[in-house]
Amino acid sequence: MEILWFGYWKAFLSDFYKEGKLLHHCVFSNAYYKREDSLIMSATVDGRRMETVEFSLSRMEVCQCRGKSNQLSAYHDRILNLVRDNIPLIRERMVV
């Protein structure tokens, strides 16, 4: 499983648009790219997008994790565990 990090400082609007279109949810239409406290990630398996993860940088926790049409994928628990296991890495890479 691969997690693509979209964080607002390095993603293009087209990344959010594509994520929303492919997974049929509101990551683009609700302007998640404007949320300065959120790190937005795309979880992929074998090159296929499975879920979008919103992670709060101030609280260091997952806010939401949704798959196609806001449903949970078969990989949901593994994705959450992978993100949670990497919180120290996220914290370490934050720019103050």
Distance CA 46, CA 50 (A): 10
pTM (2 d.p.): 0.83
Structural contact between residues 49 and 42, judged by C-beta atoms closer than 8 angstroms: yes
CA dihedral 11, 20, 75, 94 (to 10 degrees): 20
Residues 6+ apart with CB under 8 A from 62: 53, 54, 55, 56, 80, 83, 84
pLDDT in tens, the chain (96 residues): 665 554 444 567 888 888 889 998 988 777 777 788 888 888 888 888 899 999 999 999 999 999 999 999 999 999 999 999 999 989 988 875
Residue 74: DSSP 8-state: T
